[in-house]
Amino acid sequence: MDKFTVLNGLVAPLDRANVDTDAIIPKQFLKSIKRSGFGPNAFDEWRYLDHGEPGMDNSVRPLNPDFVLNQARYQGAQILLTRENFGCGSSREHAPWALLDYGFRAIIAPSFADIFFNNCFKNGILPIVLDAAEVDRLFNEVAAQEGYRLVIDLEAQTVTTPSGHVFGFQVDSFRKYCLLHGLDDIGLTLQHADKIRAYEARRRQSEPWVFM
């Protein structure tokens, strides 16, 4: 996993609530047995005018000019600004894989679906919760200024606008630590292998049927 420290990135606005994981990466692309290559199919049904299937050459497919991420001014965006309950629906990690592969390293919204939120941290994407009024303000500023960028500082837990306004955000200290250092948490957990074994030994006594 790549480290996340400070990100100075172009912002793309996706002004919808309840964007679900089926919309982020439609089911036909979940048949892949790999982790990479989902970026060209992120938001496939909104982004292209034809129907996408695995194996197509996405570079020649007709783009939907009405879909916001297709606008020239948002090309190369690394920060996605969106509305409440982003990432609802399925637990498919293909959703953060697709967003990461597309180029997003941070997502700002008033709220996120739980499983998606968790999956982001496992892939070096920082999901940031700001309150609805702050998100509204950012939507207005993005619309008003082409090339609008934000600076996200994970260590300081701040989002800074071009005019210098600073929003603070919360992040669990353990997740922050893992993200700042790009740590694989399986390795961290296995440092507690003795505790896991001791726990199992206790449960084998009290609830042996669990271990059959």
Give the binding site for other proteins (CB under 8 A): 15-18, 20, 22-23, 26-28, 30-35, 45, 51, 54-55, 83-85, 88-93, 96, 111-115, 118-119, 122-123, 172-175, 185-186, 189-190, 192-193, 195-196, 199-200, 203, 206-212
For 94-184, strand residue ranges (E) read 106-109, 126-129, 149-153, 158-160, 166-168
In contact, 93 and 118? CB cutoff 8 Å: no
Closest distance between other proteins and the C-beta of residue 125, in Å? 12
Cβ at position 172, least distance to other proteins in Å: 6
Query: How far apart are CB 130 and other proteins at their closest, in Å?
Result: 15
Backbone conformation region of residue 124, classed left if phi is above 0, alpha if psi is from -120 to 50, else beta: left
Q: Please, what is the minimum distance in Å from the beta carbon of residue 165 to other proteins?
A: 22
> Do the strands 106-109 and 126-129 form a parallel or antiparallel pair, or are they unpaired?
parallel
Residue number, 59 or 170, with CB nearest to other proteins: 170
Nearest to 39 by CA among 99, 91, 121, 94: 99
Nearer Cβ to other proteins (8/155): 155
Residue 166 CB, nearest distance to other proteins (Å)? 23
Write the CB contacts of 15 (distance below 8 Å, at least 6 apart in sequence): 68, 82, 83, 139
Which CB, 9 or 26, lies closer to other proteins? 26
Q: State which residue, 9 or 21, has the beta carbon closest to other proteins.
A: 21
Q: In the chain, helix, strand, coil percent, each to 5?
A: 40, 20, 40
Q: Which is nearer to other proteins, 17 or 63 (CB)?
A: 17
Q: How far apart are CA 185 and CA 207, in angstroms?
A: 28
Residue labelled with tokens 């020239």: 72
Q: Considering beta carbons, is residue 72 or 144 the nearer one to other proteins?
A: 144
- Minimum Å distance from CB 3 to other proteins? 16
Q: Which residue is associated with the tokens 């837990």?
A: 157
Tokens in use for 88? Answer: 């609802």
CA geometry: angle 126, 128, 132, nearest 5 deg: 160
